[in-house]
Amino acid sequence: MVLVGPTGIGKTDTSIKLAQHLNTEIISADSRQIYKELKIGTAAPTEEQTSIVPHHMVATHSIHDYYNAWEFEQDVIKLSAKLFEGKDQLILTGGSMMYVDAVCKGIDDLPTIDPELRQEVMDLHEKQGLEAIRRQLKMLDPVFYDQVDLKNHKRVMHALEVCLMTGKPYSSLRTNSARKRPFNIIKVGLDMDREELYTRINKRVDIMVEDGLFNEAKEFYKNKKLNALNTVGYKEIFAHWDGEYDAQTAIELIKRNSRRYAKRQLSWFRRDKEMQWFHPTDVTEIIKFVELQCNIN
């Protein structure tokens, strides 16, 4: 089963309860929890939590490693085949939209981007802004330009990288066809009242700060240009140390940007008509739904 939801809603705790009931294991679909250095700012599962239920795809890479959704798809498909030898169900949980889609639908095998080319695009973005990236993308791939969320700088920049790397429009390399999987997928989404969710997000940021988020970020300040660190929770602190604003403003921006990210996540997942929605406290109802779908008596 796939368990998704916005940041801060309680996916980890809910997935552990479900995994215990189903006697299974958890695969993380979080594009930042894969980095072993980032623990506090990504709300990675604790040692206590992973001792209760085995977690996979957590702390598997370094922030210096290049990793993408296509690689995640390949890794998870291989991993799930191995885990299914001893389990009837598995739980894939996380809020990284592209990672979830990669496993559920598949993702096109796009070329690995040359590090020098990636740096050139990053430098262009830093010096001339996102609009310069958009202009080049529109010239090289007007089809994808009309489809992409032009505010999503990561997707816009990646599309331009592929265009420059291959000499072909990014859109021409995308098949947009769902791959068949050797397993059935049950989709469960977690949601709650917006005020309740935003209160949870704000509180979680406060707890992260208390747990040492600023000290964790300080270790990586010299590496702040790495893609892995272009992440809510770290980039706001780096900007604070760059002199853009004070520490309290950084904390408030982390809360605001986390809330905005949660909103984008919900919008993305709600487009999937196969998703069945529950409040995270409705564990009993989720179990009933999953057992019905799996024909478990």
CA pair distance 131, 243, nearest whole angstrom = 24
Instruction: List the structure tokens of 207.
Output: 């707890």
To 5 degrees, how large is the angle CA 133–CA 139–CA 144? Answer: 80
Mean pLDDT over the full length of the chain: 93
Contact 91, 15 (CB under 8 A): yes
Residue 241 and residue 146 share a domain: no
How does pLDDT run across 210-246, given as a tens digit for each residue? Answer: 999 999 999 999 999 888 898 999 999 999 999 999 9
> What's the CATH number where 131 sits?
1.10.20.140
- Say whether both 82 and 136 belong to one domain: no
Per-residue pLDDT at 112 exceeds 70:
yes
Q: What is the pLDDT of residue 154?
A: 85
- The parent domain of residue 119 ranges over 115-173
User: Domain boundary residue among 157, 173, 189?
Assistant: 173
Q: Are residues 73 and 142 in the same domain?
A: no
Query: How many structural domains does the chain have?
Result: 2
- Predicted confidence at residue 267, as pLDDT, reads 92
Same domain, 189 and 262: yes
Q: Same domain, yes or no, for 186 and 68?
A: yes
Whether residue 248 is found in the same domain as residue 139: no
Does the pLDDT of residue 296 top 70, yes or no? no
**How far, in Å, CA of 9 to CA of 3, rounded?**
12
Q: Note whether 181 and 67 are same-domain residues.
A: yes
Tell whether 38 and 97 lie within a shared domain. Answer: yes
- Which tens digits make up the pLDDT trace of 124-175? 998 999 999 999 999 999 999 998 989 888 889 999 999 998 888 998 887 7
d(CA 220, CA 228): 10
Tell me, yes or no, whether 85 and 205 share the same domain: yes
Looking at the structure, do residues 60 and 207 belong to the same domain, yes or no?
A: yes
* CATH code (residue 226): 3.40.50.300
- Whether residues 80 and 227 share a domain: the answer is yes
Question: Is there a single domain that holds both residue 7 and residue 96?
Answer: yes
